[in-house]
Amino acid sequence: MWRERPTVALVITPRARLIDLQGASVNDLLDHLRTAVGDAHVLTDGADVAAYVVDWTGVHAGQALAVVRPGSTSEVAAVVTACRAAGASVVPQGGNTGLVGGGVPDATGTQVVLSLGRMRTVREVDPVAGTITVDAGVVLADVQDAAAQAGRLFPMSLGSEGSCTIGGNLATNAGGTAVLRYGMTRELVLGLEVVLPDGRIWDGLRGLRKDNTGYDLTQLFVGSEGTLGIITGAVLRLFPATPRHATAWVAVADVAAAVALLGLAQQHAGAHLSTFEIANRQALELVLAHLPGASDPLAEPSDWYVLVELAGAQTDDGLDDALEAILTAAVEADLAADAAIAGSPAQRTALWALREGISEAQKVEGATLKHDVTLPINRLADWVAEIGPKMAATLEGVRPVTYGHVGDGNLHYNLSAPVGGDDDLRTAAADLSTAIYDSVAAGNGSISAEHGLGRTKAAAGASYKSAVEVDLMRAVKRALDPDGLMNPGVLLPLVGQS
């Protein structure tokens, strides 16, 4: 069971309820918003707002008072100021690829969605300083491309990189497949520009590597999921380009073998090890069933697979040898049964597609219950072995689609419904998730490794934290957003909700 929610001393209630949807105040607000950003960028028609009010999973579908699309930082500030004056709460949105419902409005129809979709300028690239300065609405893949054009690498890599934005990545502290080598988003940012809940602009766009002048305000906004302000710009770190790769899809017997293989890979490849991902057979089968053109690279099925990649500079000639040494050692130690090594960029892309296609394939398959958990790496194998039977006992025929960033101790333990049993999964969802979260908490893990808490896990997040932690988080929220107008109900539950 979830631990009882800690009691808190002070209550934040969003002022959004002050809005009378039939009243003149709404029309006044819409007028102010139109003045701030131009008529064409305030959307209110159902068809125009449709894509902004439903999340990628389809689980969270709300209503918006309006969707506003500012084109500059000063326009964002004007929108926030107008909303604050009217007591309307604001839901920041980037690419709307979030997986916990944090970027879409609730069902009240009183919230304003503030989309950063028009703020797509790469402001500056400085290859020598190793920095890139961008608007928050720049799509992640465009940041990667701009870095590559300057002969540098922006390493963050997500399956959603063609749609998600840097603002969303920062707001969720996104992870992805390069964390093992380069860290989470918070390790890739040097400075931010933020519109605060009171409409002021904080210009913290400094690309300094060293700045010990007090509290780290930049990091406060990273992972804040739109609850403390709106990120409008960022200075990000660039790294030397890694145009050379050695990539393999490896059949392993179980999670314990995958973890042991990780140790071998670290030993042989050192800093060149950039990716170490895991997927179970169920995950691969969904990709083979639903991803056009996907094929199994190995002759025999295996219960588990690892995607391992080494990356290096143009001058790094030894990557293929290092990969071969890893695989030879793995076979000798009985850790790997077989492996497919990419012999060309096209084969590398095909192996990556097997991993990156899992989310989409599982969505096509039907109802899914997602769990984005981290555990200490040395506990992962036992945890997977223990949780499977508990799931089966709770819902017969439930299909664990287990995959993720095993090198970071992060598994996506996503349950697909029993065949034909989507409703059964929905009915059993609370019991299944509680069993998973309880066991993760007991193992000193986290119930959200990289996707954030959003709406989906706001209550659970608070219930697994200590009273001290929740008090500190609420104190920060109160200090920056005393009226509770920034994304209420996301990350922290509304008081009174559990």
**CA trace torsion 482, 488, 493, 497 (10° rounding):** 100
Min CB(472)–ligand FAD separation in Å = 20
Closest of 34, 16, 169 to residue 103, by C-alpha: 169
Segment interacting with ligand FAD (CB under 6 A) among 62-70, 168-176, 330-338, 419-427: 168-176
**Angle formed at CA 446 by CA 397 and CA 136, multiple of 5 degrees:** 105
Q: Does 223 bind ligand FAD (CB under 6 A)?
A: no
Report 396-455 residues binding ligand FAD (CB under 6 A).
450-451, 454
Q: Does 490 bind ligand FAD (CB under 6 A)?
A: yes
Q: Pick between residue 280 and residue 414 the one whose CB is nearest to ligand 2HG.
A: 414
Q: Pick between residue 363 and residue 478 the one whose CB is nearest to ligand 2HG.
A: 363
Min CB(454)–ligand FAD separation in Å = 6
Q: Pick between residue 224 and residue 362 the one whose CB is nearest to ligand 2HG.
A: 362
Strands (E), 375-432: 399-405, 410-416
DSSP for 86-134, please give it: HT--EEEESSS--SSSTTS--TTS-PEEEE-TT---EEEEETTTTEEEE
Q: Does 144 bind ligand FAD (CB under 6 A)?
A: no
On the CB side of 22, how many CA atoms lie within 13 Å of its CA? 0
The burial class, CB within 10 Å (0-12 / 13-18 / 19+), for 450 is buried
The span from the CA of 498 to the CA of 492, in Å, is 10
Strands (E), 142-188: 152-153
Q: Pick between residue 227 and residue 374 the one whose CB is nearest to ligand 2HG.
A: 374
Min CB(477)–ligand FAD separation in Å = 14
The span from the CA of 184 to the CA of 187, in Å, is 6
Min CB(416)–ligand FAD separation in Å = 16
The burial class, CB within 10 Å (0-12 / 13-18 / 19+), for 332 is exposed
Q: Does 226 bind ligand FAD (CB under 6 A)?
A: yes
Q: Pick between residue 157 and residue 282 the one whose CB is nearest to ligand FAD.
A: 157
> For tokens 């300057």, what's the residue?
150
8 Å CB contact between 307 and 366: no
Size of the site for ligand FAD (CB under 6 A): 38
- Contacts with ligand 2HG by CB under 6 A lie at 99, 159, 358-359, 370, 404, 412, 414
What x-and-dash track marks residues 172-191 binding ligand FAD by CB under 6 A? x-xxx---------------
207 contacts: CB under 8 Å, gap ≥ 6: 126, 129, 131, 133, 190, 191, 235
Min CB(466)–ligand FAD separation in Å = 24
Q: Does 395 bind ligand FAD (CB under 6 A)?
A: no
Q: Pick between residue 71 and residue 159 the one whose CB is nearest to ligand 2HG.
A: 159
Q: Does 168 bind ligand FAD (CB under 6 A)?
A: yes
**H or E element at residue 371:** none
8 Å CB contact between 225 and 167: no
Specify the 3-state DSSP secondary structure of 330.
helix
Min CB(155)–ligand FAD separation in Å = 13
Q: Does 171 bind ligand FAD (CB under 6 A)?
A: yes
116 binds, among ligand 2HG, ligand FAD, none (CB under 5 to 8 A by kind): ligand FAD
Min CB(241)–ligand FAD separation in Å = 22
Specify the 3-state DSSP secondary structure of 380.
helix
Q: Pick between residue 91 and residue 112 the one whose CB is nearest to ligand FAD.
A: 91
171 binds, among ligand 2HG, ligand FAD, none (CB under 5 to 8 A by kind): ligand FAD
Closest of 55, 56, 176, 74 to residue 135, by C-alpha: 74
Report 465-484 residues binding ligand FAD (CB under 6 A).
none
The burial class, CB within 10 Å (0-12 / 13-18 / 19+), for 257 is buried
The single residue among 110, 133, 169, 368 that binds ligand FAD, judged by CB under 6 A, is: 169
**Binding region for ligand FAD (CB under 6 A):** 56, 91-99, 102-103, 116, 136, 158-160, 164-165, 167-169, 171-172, 174-176, 225-226, 230-231, 359-360, 450-451, 454, 487, 490
